[in-house]
């Protein structure tokens, strides 16, 4: 597929690039699609930056279309870590005549990137672009898990038109459906209707309140380790740290916590795409939010190059296996602990006729706390919710 049709070059003039120093900034390393250079060759690349100048479905936050180039301004001034980055910047998706045209273009570009085992990093634009990212997996026939870092669920109403605050309903209702699980990290209860919370429970989706996550930030790691796609709404970060969003509020994650979540995401061997949305330069005091998003992407890259390539279903010799008997339960709970990283997984029973379809989803990333819960004769919530879907 010729994805060049969907992409327009970017202008790197004026970016702070350390061309005459021994230490290289990302701007020195990235192979970018500029006016003077054609679309870079994807072969050999690990990560691909894609900007999307689309905000026609933004709710109360018009202006996010200007975000991608502002983030690049700060991203390419950051130094490379202790690894050799192989990254390309494909430029920006051309806005279509309609938003659906933009979705189509983004979906096709992401699909082509995924086919080549490259991780796309999408810089939006409004968060409804998550729907187009999801459609790329549908075209590949892959059932996936989505994780959103967001102060609300973005469910909207069933009859509501597509927007940045209703895209999740469109994903859930879309047929054929390729969504196995959805997890929300950092929702703020006073922004969420109780019916929406009940709906999340009934769908066996995971939702973690901001207060819980901030008190146990390490519990975020297994959540994002189970994701194929992550959608990060910048309004999940508090106003003092990220003012560049018209919908931002006083509470939310601190900048350091957002960077830690981004690094966890990068370290996940399962994760294959991530998007950062809802940055609005019009409200961004001294470029503070664009700079933070650039640092979050830097931490994602850092996590990516520290991946462990751990897959319990492929090589169980690299894991310690634990069996826990729960009183009153027919089957034991089985846990795996990596000898390399000390990370945990748990095995969830699956019907034989479902094994081919859901083989990627019956080994669930978990924490040591889940193992302790089982040892205390209780079934972890994470295990139970997965069991409901698989059985």
pTM of the model: 0.95
User: In angstroms, rounded to a whole number, what is the distance separating the alpha carbons of residues 273 and 96?
Assistant: 22
Q: Give the chain's mean pLDDT.
A: 92
Q: What are the pLDDT digits (tens) for 156-181?
A: 776 678 899 999 999 998 888 899 99
273: which residues sit within 8 A by CB, 6+ positions away?
A: 110, 114, 119, 120, 121, 122, 133, 136, 228, 229, 230
Q: Which residues pair with 48 in a beta bridge?
A: 88, 120
How far apart, in Å, do the first and last CA atoms of the chain sit? 39
Residues of the chain with CATH 3.40.800.10: 3-304
d(CA 379, CA 337): 18
State pLDDT tens for residues 73-95: 999 999 999 999 999 999 999 99
Task: Report pLDDT digits (tens) over 5-37.
Answer: 999 999 887 665 545 555 688 988 999 999 888
Token pair, residue 198, equals: 């009940």
- Fold for 3-304, please state it: 3.40.800
135-149, 174-188, 288-302, 345-359: which has the minimum mean pLDDT? 345-359
């Amino acid at each position: 597929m010729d994805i060049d049709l969907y992409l327009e070059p970017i202008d790197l003039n004026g970016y702070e690039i350390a061309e005459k120093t021994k230490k290289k900034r990302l701007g020195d390393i990235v192979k970018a699609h500029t006016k003077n250079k054609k679309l870079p060759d994807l072969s050999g690349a690990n990560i691909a930056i894609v900007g999307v100048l689309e905000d026609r479905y933004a709710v109360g936050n018009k202006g996010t279309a200007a975000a991608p180039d502002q983030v690049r301004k700060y991203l390419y001034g950051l130094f490379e870590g202790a690894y050799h980055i192989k990254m390309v910047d494909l430029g920006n998706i051309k806005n279509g005549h309609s938003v659906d045209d933009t979705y189509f273009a983004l979906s096709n570009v992401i699909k082509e990137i995924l086919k080549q085992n490259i991780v796309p990093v999408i810089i939006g634009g409004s968060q409804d672009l998550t729907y187009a990212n999801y459609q790329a997996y549908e075209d590949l026939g892959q059932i996936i898990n989505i994780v959103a870092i967001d102060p609300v669920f973005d469910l909207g109403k069933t009859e509501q038109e597509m927007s940045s605050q209703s895209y999740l309903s469109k994903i859930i209702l879309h047929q054929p459906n390729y969504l196995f699980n959805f997890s929300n990290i950092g929702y703020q209860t006073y922004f969420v209707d109780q019916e929406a919370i009940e709906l999340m429970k009934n769908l066996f989706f995971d939702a973690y309140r901001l207060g819980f996550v901030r008190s146990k930030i390490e519990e975020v790691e297994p959540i994002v380790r189970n994701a194929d796609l992550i959608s990060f709404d910048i309004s999940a970060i508090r106003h003092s740290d990220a003012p560049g969003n018209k919908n931002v509020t006083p509470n939310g994650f601190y900048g350091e916590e957002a960077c830690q979540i981004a690094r966890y995401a990068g370290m996940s061997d399962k994760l294959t795409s991530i998007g950062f949305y809802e940055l609005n330069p019009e409200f961004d005091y001294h470029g503070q939010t664009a700079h933070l998003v650039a640092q979050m992407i830097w931490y994602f890259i850092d996590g990516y190059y520290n991946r462990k390539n751990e897959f319990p279903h492929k090589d169980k010799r690299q894991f310690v296996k634990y069996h826990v008997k729960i009183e009153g339960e027919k089957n034991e709970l089985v846990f795996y602990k990596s000898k390399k990283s000390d990370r945990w997984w748990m095995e969830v029973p699956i019907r034989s006729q479902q094994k081919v379809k859901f083989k990627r989803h019956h080994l669930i990333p978990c924490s040591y706390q889940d193992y302790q819960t089982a040892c205390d004769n209780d079934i972890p919530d994470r295990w139970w919710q997965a069991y409901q879907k698989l059985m």
